[in-house]
């Protein structure tokens, strides 16, 4: 009896000051608010964040190593799987870099179609931000509204490319296929009420008092600091720095597009939200212009050293009546095989960056003159943006860390590559 | 863009003519800190942002490793590339984190992937590979399928049973 009672005696250490020892809190790697497999080691003083150290690498698949062991064409589908929220944008960006290395010029129609795909991808990715960013802070309604539009975009990509995501649609020197009337009609239907849908998200968030309290003056970063840390994209524009590669280093058909670059002023979570919402509208505007100005013509460059033969010359297909509209030619099949397996890239190096959904998506390619890259470097925007997490979260409450993570809008597939 | 640099550092800088996409300078590794400081602080076209820092393994050619810096001047909307060839198989270079704090993770990645050390880096540890990993995956002698990929699972299982 006495033994039991002595065991039950629990010595209570009364801690008069809970702030003496900082608490270490491990967030992730499996946590819904970390948008993938991100782990953050948070040092807390009470509820205040003293430090937040992101630990990354859980999704490292060695994309750059694969790039050194795959031919130039076969790596395209791996670019899809970096930022899997805007897959087509990645593959097009990679092809732009290879084209710069090869000195290829893409025909005008392909440039305009690329702009359409770039902007559809941007909407695709920004809708994830609007949806999950709001969901993280408790606004679950917006998530379902944003996913409704996203589902329509999945269908559109399915019709254009044949896949809902990870479509591998870009080709060096062009794009895989021309846009069909069905796809164009679907895009027009999608765009017809898209601005109203964006207004709908805004009625739920922009003037919402709760949303203000959770995002305004939270996660503030100054313009100088953002530049020094290597931030790009909407995160940098949220601080008021005007830098958009579509305007400053134009590619594809962007010089002929008329659009505005939304800028923030305070560099907080709310400004980053406003920038992305306005970019949704601007993207829709660009797609309409691209359709209006879409020229006729080829979608592949002429240079057969680097460019695949047209698909209808390589694949024999038949319709329901058994008629063969496409007859493959053996010479073209051989040509395609040689381009895929043994395409010699001129020796040298090239850096080409495109404005990804998260920021500057750059590809640095080094070639020895062989059919594979000596070095294939991906400068991923999410990697550099994530570095700012600690600075934005420091001195704020633990609940603000979630708001900062959501507003940085990174995707771990791109951080870890 | 680079005239004032050649005036200051003379023929220790070498303009690479075989890179048509960007103005490219080849610099000896001991000049990394002075050249980068100069570029970041100068009045006209300062390079405010380090866009990218990476390395290339040129083996079996010598010098084996080349550090590649992509710099950006936002004010002038111009880019500049610096190449710094490093001698040896396990080289060291000066860190540029005092100049651009964004170099922190980029240098950690170069250390993790290539085994190139950076003097003066605040916390040079692995970033993509787990702590305690052997080898540096982007070195050319590293096999594409990895070295003993199941090791960490076995250690984890052993730790769980014990």
Write the pLDDT tens digit of every residue in A303-349. 888 888 877 778 777 777 777 777 778 888 888 888 888 888 889 99
Answer whether B128 sits within 8 Å of A348, measured CB to CB.
no
Answer whether B81 sits within 8 Å of A69, measured CB to CB.
no
Give rounded-to-5 percent helix, strand, coil for chain B: 30, 25, 50
Judge residue A361's burial from the number of C-beta atoms within 10 Å of its C-beta, 0-12 exposed, 13-18 middle, 19 or more buried: buried
Q: Does A393 touch chain B (CB under 8 A)?
A: no
Residue A9 scores a pLDDT above 90: no
Which residues are within 8 A (CB) of B20 and not within 5 positions of it... i.e. 6 or more apart? A348
- pLDDT confidence of residue A7: 54
- pLDDT confidence of residue A98: 93
Residue A105 scores a pLDDT above 60: yes
- pLDDT confidence of residue A8: 57
Please tell me the least confidently modeled range out of A16-30, A355-369, B139-153.
A16-30
Q: Does A387 touch chain B (CB under 8 A)?
A: yes
Q: What is the mean pLDDT of residues A4-24?
A: 61
> Which of A99, A221, A364 best probes binding to B when mutated, by most B CB atoms within 10 angstroms?
A364
Which residues are within 8 A (CB) of A195 and not within 5 positions of it... i.e. 6 or more apart? A281, A284
Q: Does B60 touch chain A (CB under 8 A)?
A: no
Each residue's pLDDT tens digit, B16-70: 888 888 889 899 998 899 899 988 888 788 888 999 999 999 988 889 999 999 9
- pLDDT confidence of residue A2: 47
The fourth-level CATH superfamily of domain A32-306+343-416 is: Cytochrome-c3 Hydrogenase, chain B (1.10.645.10)
Each residue's pLDDT tens digit, A356-396: 999 999 999 999 988 899 999 999 999 999 999 999 998 88
Answer whether B77 sits within 8 Å of A248, measured CB to CB.
yes
Q: What is the mean pLDDT of residues B88-115?
A: 92
Q: What is the mean pLDDT of residues A275-300?
A: 92
Percentage of residues in chain A having pLDDT higher than 70: 94
Answer whether A348 sits within 8 Å of B18, measured CB to CB.
yes
Percentage of residues in chain B having pLDDT higher than 90: 43
Write the residue in A65, A228, A375 that is nearest to B102 by C-beta: A228
Q: Note the Cα A356 to chain centre separation in Å.
A: 6
Model confidence at A1, pLDDT cuts 50, 70, 90, reads very low
The 3-state DSSP class for residue A280 equals helix
Better-scored residue on pLDDT, A171 or B1: A171
Nearest to B79 by CA among B2, B27, B16: B2
Which residues are within 8 A (CB) of A148 and not within 5 positions of it... i.e. 6 or more apart? none
Strand order, beta sheet including B14-16: B14-16, B24-26, B78-86, B65-73, B49-57
Q: Does A261 touch chain B (CB under 8 A)?
A: no
Cβ atoms of A156 and A147 within 8 Å: the answer is no
Cβ atoms of B48 and A239 within 8 Å: the answer is no
From A417's Cα to the closest Cα of chain B, the distance in A is 9
- pLDDT confidence of residue B132: 77
Task: Tell me how far CA of residue B53 lies from CA of A111, A379, B141, in angstroms.
Answer: 30, 9, 22
- pLDDT confidence of residue A309: 84
Cβ atoms of B76 and B68 within 8 Å: the answer is no
Maximum CA pair distance of chain A?
96
- pLDDT confidence of residue A34: 66
CA distance A389 to A41: 12
Residues 220-239 of A with CB under 8 A from B: 224, 227-231
Answer whether A379 sits within 8 Å of B70, measured CB to CB.
yes
Q: Does A71 touch chain B (CB under 8 A)?
A: no
Answer whether B129 sits within 8 Å of A351, measured CB to CB.
no
The answer to whether the bond into A21 is cis (omega within 30° of 0) is no
- pLDDT confidence of residue A288: 92
Q: What is the mean pLDDT of residues A234-244?
A: 92
From B98's Cα to the closest Cα of chain A, the distance in A is 11
- pLDDT confidence of residue B28: 92
Percentage of residues in chain B having pLDDT higher than 70: 97
Mean pLDDT score across all residues of chain A: 87
Residue B1 scores a pLDDT above 80: no
- pLDDT confidence of residue A328: 79
Cβ atoms of A307 and A181 within 8 Å: the answer is no
ipTM: 0.89
Beta bridge partners of A71: A372
CA distance A77 to A60: 16
- pLDDT confidence of residue A284: 93
Which residues are within 8 A (CB) of B32 and not within 5 positions of it... i.e. 6 or more apart? B67, B82, B84, B93, B94, B96
């Amino acid at each position: 009896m006495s033994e039991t009672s002595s065991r039950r005696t629990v010595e209570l250490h009364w801690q008069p000051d809970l702030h003496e020892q900082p608490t270490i809190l491990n967030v992730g790697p499996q946590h819904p608010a970390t948008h993938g497999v991100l782990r953050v080691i948070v040092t807390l003083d009470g509820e205040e964040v003293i430090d937040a150290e992101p630990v990354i690498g859980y999704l490292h698949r060695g994309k750059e190593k694969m790039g050194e062991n795959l031919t130039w064409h076969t790596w395209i589908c791996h670019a899809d799987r970096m930022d899997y929220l805007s897959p087509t944008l990645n593959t097009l960006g990679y092809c732009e870099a290879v084209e710069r290395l090869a000195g290829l010029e893409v025909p005008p129609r392909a440039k305009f179609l690329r702009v359409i795909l770039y902007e559809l991808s941007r909407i695709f990715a920004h809708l994830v931000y609007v949806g999950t960013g709001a969901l993280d802070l408790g606004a679950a309604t917006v998530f379902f509204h944003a996913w409704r539009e996203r589902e329509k975009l999945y269908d559109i990509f399915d019709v254009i490319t044949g896949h809902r995501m990870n479509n591998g649609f870009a080709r060096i020197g062009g794009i895989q296929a021309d846009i069909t009337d069905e796809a164009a009609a679907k895009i027009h239907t999608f765009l017809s009420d898209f601005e109203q849908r964006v207004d709908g998200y805004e009625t739920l968030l922009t003037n919402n008092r709760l949303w203000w309290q959770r995002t305004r003056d939270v996660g503030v970063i100054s313009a100088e600091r953002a530049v020094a840390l290597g931030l790009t994209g909407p995160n940098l524009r949220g601080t008021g720095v005007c830098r958009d590669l579509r305007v400053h280093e134009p590619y594809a058909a962007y010089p002929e597009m008329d659009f505005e670059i939304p800028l923030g002023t305070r560099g907080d979570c709310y400004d980053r939200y406003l920038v992305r919402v306005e970019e949704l509208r601007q993207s829709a505007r660009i797609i309409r212009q691209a359709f209006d100005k879409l020229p006729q013509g080829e979608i592949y460059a002429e240079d057969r050293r680097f460019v695949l033969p047209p698909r209808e010359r390589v694949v024999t297909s038949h319709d329901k009546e058994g008629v063969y509209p496409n007859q493959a030619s053996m010479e073209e099949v051989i040509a395609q095989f040689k381009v895929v397996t043994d395409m010699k890239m001129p020796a040298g190096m090239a850096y080409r960056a495109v404005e990804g959904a998260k920021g500057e998506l750059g590809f640095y390619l080094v070639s020895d003159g062989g059919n594979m890259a000596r070095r294939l470097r991906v400068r991923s925007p999410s990697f550099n943006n994530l570095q700012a997490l600690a600075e934005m979260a420091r001195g704020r409450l633990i609940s603000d860390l979630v708001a900062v993570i959501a507003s940085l809008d990174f995707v771990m597939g791109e951080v870890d590559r | 863009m680079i005239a004032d640099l050649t005036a200051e550092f003379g023929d220790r800088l070498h303009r690479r003519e075989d890179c048509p996409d960007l103005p490219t300078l080849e610099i000896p590794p001991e000049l990394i800190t002075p050249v980068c400081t100069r570029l970041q602080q100068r009045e006209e076209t300062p390079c405010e942002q380090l866009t990218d820092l990476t390395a290339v393994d040129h083996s079996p050619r010598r010098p084996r490793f080349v550090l590649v810096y992509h710099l950006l001047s936002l004010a002038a909307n111009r880019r500049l590339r610096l190449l710094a060839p490093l001698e040896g198989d396990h080289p060291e270079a000066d860190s540029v984190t005092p100049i651009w704090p964004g170099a922190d993770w980029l240098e950690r990645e170069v250390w993790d992937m290539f085994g190139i050390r950076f003097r003066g880096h605040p916390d040079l540890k692995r970033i993509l590979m787990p702590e305690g990993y052997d080898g540096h995956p982007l070195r050319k002698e590293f096999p594409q399928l990895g070295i003993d990929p199941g090791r960490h699972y076995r250690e984890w299982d052993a730790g769980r049973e014990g």
